[in-house]
């Protein structure tokens, strides 16, 4: 290996330089403070733990298992996983470490690691920030999470031109259950929906049990009124399907009333993380960006693996992606060397105001701080700051 290759980073991993690091750190602090005043308590979770805690081999966690890096623990010989998502860890806290009664609200921010990028041009080491609510299975809980997510984006970013997508995996699941489809057929339908392949869907559903309903679900996925008109009475009378359909409509109405200027869309065949989510799903998108700014949904029963099954809903975002287009000029004030008390007092006072001051060392001059934007100079016995 040549010397030039030793400093190359793996694909999907990058350094974060000062101009963006300051943006990201400001976002992190503001976001956690924002969540704290809404009752979301901060938790720190370990970067690595036994693989059984991070992702079981059950169907609901296969996607997570595939993106989890695995290593052998040199102390125990057991398989460890580097966290790829912090939600299972928070679920462990809620179920086993801090099993409080009633509603629990948690928030977190930390680096996670993926075996491969999860979206186009995404990092494999996102700085994941999220909020989760355990212990309540109501529409109000889902609305709270969406409302908090939107308010957070508005507070740390802005909502100009953004679009909120709402979906519900329960509609597809209820229809599959009602039609009595096998896993293979369910998987084919899920793939067709994800690819929005309407001609293929129409052909595939021609001879399928309740095929007209499956086609209608794809054809009118973004229009609940039209969807309701084209669905059969058989599925509309199904109690489970009806409850989920009504929940989606109610959520849409409540969010629209809280955010009247927000562009809200419906997509009932958005089945990302289909095996992970159990109900309502939501994501917020910005113009000219393929990946969502933030996304989440309901994942009831996630704590069952840890011995305590509870309703749960939450969202997360990548702070690197959230601050990707934002850069700041870091103002740096250079002070001359010396131990004069007036100078030291002036430096201390300036720093107490939150400004960055670098004092020269030894024989250094202003050129030794190439990123300096201002300098401290003495004028008429007073130390003042001048722009360079």
Residue ranges for the binding site for L-histidine?
85-87, 128, 132, 272
C-alpha–C-alpha distance, residues 233 and 223, integer Å: 18
Q: What string of DSSP letters covers 40-99?
A: -EE----SEEEHHHH--SSGGGHHHHHT-EEEE-TTT--EEEE-S-SHHHHHHIIIIIS-
Best CA proximity match to 131, nearest among 84, 162, 87, 82 = 87
Cα distances (angstroms) measured from residue 15 to each of 8, 9, 18, 107, 196: 11, 9, 10, 25, 37
Q: What share of the chain is helix, strand, coil (3-state, %, to 5)?
A: 40, 20, 40
3-state class of 231 per DSSP?
coil
Cα distances (angstroms) measured from residue 174 to each of 243, 244, 245, 248: 10, 9, 10, 14
Count of beta carbons in the 10 Å neighbourhood of residue 40? 21
Judge whether 334 and 375 are in contact, CB under 8 Å: yes
CB-count exposure of residue 210 (10 Å: 0-12, 13-18, 19+): buried
C-alpha–C-alpha distance, residues 41 and 115, integer Å: 29
Helix H or strand E segment including 189: helix 183-194
Phi and psi at 218, nearest 5°, equal: -80, -40
3-state class of 284 per DSSP?
strand
Binding residues: 85-87, 128, 132, 272
Judge whether 12 and 116 are in contact, CB under 8 Å: yes
Distance of CA 262 to the CA centre of its chain: 20
């Amino acid at each position: 290996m040549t010397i030039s290759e030793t400093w190359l980073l793996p694909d999907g991993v990058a350094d974060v330089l000062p101009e963006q690091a300051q943006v990201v750190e400001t976002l992190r602090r503001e976001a956690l403070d924002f969540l704290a005043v809404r009752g979301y308590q901060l938790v720190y979770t370990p970067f690595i733990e036994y693989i059984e805690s991070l992702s079981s081999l059950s169907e609901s966690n296969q996607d997570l298992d595939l993106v989890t890096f695995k290593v052998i623990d040199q102390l125990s010989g057991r398989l460890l996983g580097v966290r790829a998502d912090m939600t299972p860890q928070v679920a462990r806290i809620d179920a086993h470490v801090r099993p409080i009664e009633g509603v629990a609200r948690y928030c977190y921010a930390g680096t996670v690691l993926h075996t491969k990028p999860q979206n186009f041009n995404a990092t494999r080491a996102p700085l994941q920030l999220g909020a989760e609510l355990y212990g309540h299975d109501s529409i109000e809980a889902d609305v709270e999470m969406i409302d908090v997510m939107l308010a957070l984006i508005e507070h740390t970013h802005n909502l100009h031109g953004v679009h909120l997508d709402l979906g519900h995996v329960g509609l597809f699941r209820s229809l599959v259950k009602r039609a009595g489809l096998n896993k293979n057929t369910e998987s084919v339908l899920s793939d067709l929906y994800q690819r929005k392949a309407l001609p293929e869907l129409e052909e595939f559903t021609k001879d399928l049990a309740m095929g007209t309903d499956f086609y209608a679900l794809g054809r009118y996925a973004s229009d609940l009124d039209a969807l309701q008109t084209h669905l059969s009475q058989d599925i509309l009378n199904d109690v489970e399907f009806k409850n989920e359909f009504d929940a989606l409509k109610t959520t849409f109405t409540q969010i629209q009333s809280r955010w009247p200027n927000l562009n809200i869309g419906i997509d009932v065949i958005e089945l990302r993380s289909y095996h992970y989510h159990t109900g309502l799903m939501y994501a917020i998108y910005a113009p000219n960006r393929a990946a969502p700014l933030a996304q989440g949904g309901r994942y009831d029963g996630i704590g069952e693996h840890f011995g305590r099954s509870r309703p749960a809903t939450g969202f997360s975002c990548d702070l690197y992606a959230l601050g990707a287009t934002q850069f700041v000029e870091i103002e740096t004030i250079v002070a001359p060397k010396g131990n004069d008390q007036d100078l030291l007092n002036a430096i201390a006072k300036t720093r107490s105001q939150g400004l960055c001051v670098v004092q020269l060392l030894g024989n250094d001059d202003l050129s030794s701080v190439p990123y300096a934007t201002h300098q401290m100079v003495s004028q008429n016995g007073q130390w003042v700051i001048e722009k360079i």
